[in-house]
Amino acid sequence: MSDHSEAAAPVRRRLSADERRRQLVAIGLAKIVETPIQDLSMDDIATEAGISRGLLFHYFPTKTDFYLACIAAAGRRMLRTTAPDEDLPGEQQVEMTTRLMVEQIERRRDFYLALVHGHGVADPRVSEVMDSVRQGSTDRVVAALGVPARQHDVVRAWWAYTEDRALSWSAVPTGERPVPLSGLVAECVAALHALLALSS
């Protein structure tokens, strides 16, 4: 009987430092989608992870450090989920990554605004996360269309325009939007080509 009980007991595996950091970031990322950073409870994060508050601060010395690790993870996830199919022709890749970005902003509008505006955290590293997302998105378009180096800044500026269009569009109730998703994507892609033609 005791042998059976011992065999059935769950085996708790000690997490490595990297595994623990990933676990904490995953918990934090899930929470800050809905919770402003100033309202984020580090005690709740520690409790959910099954560790003490003190141990959490061993991995992330300050609340800001923890928040920055979470939004950096969010930035990486954003780039993964907006990646186009690289087997498609370049034009279709641009259309696909634009559509995926608009859809992502629509799904997580408040969270995206928090990323863009820093969620009340005055730290230059917050803007670095969004810069990395915009640069990664820019690099995809540049590669897909073979845009020359002198026009890379045009593509980057276009992404800022596309983000703004997506944020404005997603703020309007679904039945009242001036154009459907496909129309918005088509307009944004057309604007890209117009900008590239004007700057060529």
How do the domains of the chain map onto residue ranges? 17-199
pLDDT score at 118? 54
Q: What pLDDT digit, counting tens, does each position of 54-69 carry?
A: 999 999 998 888 988 8
Which homologous superfamily is 17-199 in?
A: Tetracycline Repressor, domain 2 (1.10.357.10)
pLDDT score at 52? 92
3-state secondary structure string across the chain: CHHHHHHHCCCCCCCCHHHHHHHHHHHHHHHHCCCCHHHCCHHHHHHHHCCCHHHHHHHCCCHHHHHHHHHHHHHHHHHHHCCCCCCCCHHHHHHHHHHHHHHHHHHCHHHHHHHHHHHHCCCHHHHHHHHHHHHHHHHHHHHHHCCCHHHHHHHHHHHHHHHHHHHHHHCCCHHHCCCCHHHHHHHHHHHHHHHHHHHC
Q: What pLDDT digit, counting tens, does each position of 70-92 carry?
A: 888 888 888 999 999 999 999 99
Q: What pLDDT digit, counting tens, does each position of 103-156 carry?
A: 999 998 877 877 766 555 566 777 787 788 889 999 999 999 999 999 999 999
